[in-house]
Structures are given as structure tokens and as C-alpha cells.
Amino acid sequence: MRILSIFGTRPEAIKMAPLVKALAAEPSLESRVCITGQHQQMLDQVMDLFGLKAHCRLDVMRPNQSLNSLTAALFDAIDPLLEAERPDRVLVHGDTTTALVAAMAAFHRRIPVGHVEAGLRTGDLRQPWPEEMNRRSIDLIADQLFAPTAESRCNLLDERLAGQIWVTGNTVIDALQKTARRIDDDDHLRQRLDNRFGFLQPGRRLLLVTGHRRENFGEGLRHICQALRRLAQRADLQIVYPLHLNPNVKGPVTEQLGGLHNVHLIEPQDYLSFVRLMQRAHVVLTDSGGVQEEAPTLGKPVLVMRDVTERPEAVAAGTARLVGTSTQSIEQGVSALLDDEALWRQSAQACNPYGDGQASARIVDALLGRPVSEFAVRMPQAAQPLAVPGQTVPG
């Protein structure tokens, strides 16, 4: 069976890397990888780290391009690729424009599609935008749905979709566990990574920030920056914000926060360095999808700058909290974790609602028609799993 994995952005590459490795290890499968180039620099960092080889590279990225021009470029580039490769199955990941177009292009050619990270929902097409529409559409197309959690399976069942569903855990946990172990087991590597962050001061606690969602461009990002300016006045805190290369993020954030002595705006980090930063963080503040899944595994309290999340499991477990994008609620959320030791301890309990490191192996089993031993969460004693998606900000 010839399987063609198509991806193009940083998070897709991190989450597909363990699966691509597992596919390559199966003698009965011919695994091919196509990189669309939706991201260039940020994707290459991941390919290099995981030693991934692309059989084909498209070149669709243009500086600050619109979603429609990206979509058109992807259709133009992916269709001839499908014609040339003639795969038995296409695998796509998550909810990016690359994933949506690859799934639609395969559907038009009657090639079956497997969706990795199926079933995530906020229930609101406006957030995350356009990703909520992308993933719903991909789930409609796919005949194999690899749902990371029981909640995501429930979402798919509610929509009465035709595809077969397996609960696999999220492949990001496969990637994270391997990467964190590599750092933990190698003193020399750890030291080398720490040397990159020589600007960090031992006496100050680290707030690690990422923020790049399109629905937060403009006002949302301004509020986030205002909150960070206020928090930067604390003498016990230092802030590190690796900036997404999207000019709508990099420009405004640099304008508003550049030059503050304890706010470090840095380039997008390779995955090893970013995992090290997460390990060293006291609190993580983010609107990213993947980081919401990783921080709980590392036992880091995570504040999510969104009004609604498609990843309610960590909120239910008490490791994550939604703070929206108002200046006040972000500032209060971070301050509470800095000032209330008991609250921080409670939120810092490591939990793994998103996976156990075996997601890729389960997906390969499903692809090959072998029995799949599905992922089941072991929640901490006090935690109650949420039955409903799209947890909203309390109050």
C-alpha cells in the first residue's frame, strides 16, 4: 500500500514526524512524504531535527499571502502531485489550509483520506478561524478518522460521519516524550540549549508566551501586548516570546514590546530549544493548539488566550485555564499563578489527557487492518473528564 502524507506547517511536521517514522518502519507500506511549503523556515527546523526526508517539495509560501491565494496555489500544486504519485491513501493532519486542500484534492480524485487529529471542535466557526471550518470539512471527507481522545471521538459520533474512528492519543505526545527524554538524558545537550538562553536570569521566574492566531490579529494582539507590558513591570518575572514569522504577528508585537528589558522577543525556536524553554517555564501563556497539549504533559500550568478551546481535556484536569484575550484577564491569570503558591502547585500536576506516546503505533495498526488497542486516559484522582467540547471562559 502506498501512503502519501501531505503537510506544510510547523505543527503538522512535529505531529506527523513520529508517524512518518513509524510508517517507514513497516515493510508492507510504501510511505511517501510531500511538503507543501506553506511554511518554509519554521518547517525546515522540524524536518532537520527529526531527520525527515521529503520525497517532494512544493513551494506555495509567499510573504503574507491571503488564505484564498494560498488555497489556490495549494490546489494547483497538489493535484499534479496526486496524478504523479497515485497513492492508495492520503494522510493529512489537523486543520491547516494545507490539510484541507490536500483532503479535497484527494477526494476529487477518489483517493481515500485518513485524518490524523480528527474530531477536535470548538463548535464556533469563528474560532479558531479558519481552522474550525477546515477540520470539520476534512472529517466529512475522511474515511479513516484518528481521534486523539474520547472527547474527539464523541464529537465525530455526534456529527454522524461516515468514517471509521479510532481513539489513538495525539502524536504530539509521541514527539514530545521522545524530545524531552533526549534533553533529560544528555547533560551536554541540555547545557548547549541553556547556553542559547544565557540572557535568562536565575532569580526571575519564566513566563513563556506564544501567540499567533488569525482571529487575534489587531485588537486581540494589542490587548495581549498590553497585558505583557504590565506584567513586565514585576521584578520577579522574565518573559520570553518566540515570534511566529507571520508579519501580522511579528510586526505589531515587536512594535509594542520591543526594547523592554525583561521581555525577550526571539526568533521561532527549533523544537528541541522550545521544549527546553517549556521545561524551564514557570507558567506558559499561549493561543497555540499544540502547546496546550504539551504543557500539561510537562506539568506546566498553561493559560490559554482564547474564549473557547477545542482541547477541553486539560481544562477539565485543572492544568489549563482559559483567560481569553482581555488585558485584565490575562494579567490577572498570570499574577494569580505567580502569587498563589497553592494554586500554582495544583495547576502544575503533570497529566496526560492527550496521549501516552503510542499514537503513531496505533495509527499504523489501523492502517494495516490490525487490531488497535485504543488510548484511554488515566486522569488524576480529582479530575473529571468533560463530556462537552468547546469549554468557554467561566464568568
Provide the binding-site residues for ligand UDP, judged by CB under 6 A.
10-11, 14, 172, 210, 242, 268-269, 271, 274, 288-291, 294
- Residue 63 interface partner, choices ligand UD1, ligand UDP, none, CB cut-off 5-8 Å depending on type: ligand UD1
Active-site residue flag, 139: no
Q: Is 42 in the site for ligand UD1 (CB under 6 A)?
A: yes
Stretch that binds ligand UD1, among 36-44, 151-159, 201-209, 363-371 (CB under 6 A): 36-44
Cis, peptide link before residue 128, omega less than 30° from 0 = yes
Provide, rounded to whole angstroms, the least separation between the CB of residue 70 and ligand UD1. 6
- Catalytic, 83? Answer no
Q: Which of residues 43-72 bind ligand UD1 (CB under 6 A)?
A: 61, 63-65
Q: Is 10 in the site for ligand UD1 (CB under 6 A)?
A: yes
Residue 80 or 247: which CB sits closer to ligand UD1?
247
Of 214, 230, 264, 280, the active-site residue reads: 214
Kindly give the residue spans of alpha helices, DSSP state H, lying in the chain: 10-24, 41-50, 67-85, 97-108, 131-141, 150-158, 171-184, 187-196, 219-231, 247-257, 271-280, 289-297, 313-317, 327-339, 341-347, 359-367
Please state whether 204 falls in left (phi above 0), alpha (psi between -120 and 50) or beta. beta
Q: Out of 212, 213, 223, 282, which one is annotated catalytic?
A: 212
**Residue 242 interaction partner, one of ligand UDP, ligand UD1, none, beta carbon < 5-8 Å per kind:** ligand UDP
Q: How far apart are CA 166 and CA 46, in angstroms?
A: 27
Q: How far is the CB of 294 from ligand UDP (least distance, A)?
A: 5
Q: Which of 32, 115, 153, 244 is catalytic?
A: 244
Q: Which of 57, 190, 205, 214 binds ligand UD1 (CB under 6 A)?
A: 214
**91-110 burial, b if ≥16 CB within 10 A, otherwise e?**
bbbbbbbbbbbbbbbbbeee
Question: Of residues 131, 151, 174, 331, which has the active-site annotation?
Answer: 131
Q: For the chain, first and last CA: distance in Å?
A: 51
294 given a catalytic annotation: no
CA 372, 146, 156, 318 dihedral sign is: positive
3-state secondary structure of 166: strand
Q: Quick one: what does residue 269 bind among ligand UD1, ligand UDP, none, with the CB cut-off 5 to 8 Å set by partner type?
A: ligand UDP
Residues 305, 211 contacting (CB under 8 angstroms): yes
CA torsion angle for 133, 138, 144, 147 (degrees, to 10)?
-30
Q: Which of 247, 251, 299, 380 binds ligand UD1 (CB under 6 A)?
A: 247
Q: Is 277 exposed, middle or buried (0-12, 13-18, 19+ CB in 10 A)?
A: buried
Of 18 and 268, which CB lies nearer to ligand UDP in the complex structure?
A: 268
- Rounded least distance, CB 199 to ligand UDP, Å: 16
* Residue 79 annotated in active site: no
How many amino acids of this chain bind ligand UD1 (CB under 6 A)?
23
The pair phi, psi for residue 131, each rounded to 5°, is -65, -35
Q: What are phi and psi of 147, to 5 degrees?
A: -85, 130
Q: Which residues are catalytic?
A: 95, 117, 131, 212, 214, 244
Contacting residues toward ligand UD1, per CB under 6 A: 9-11, 38-42, 61, 63-65, 95-97, 130-131, 212, 214, 244-247
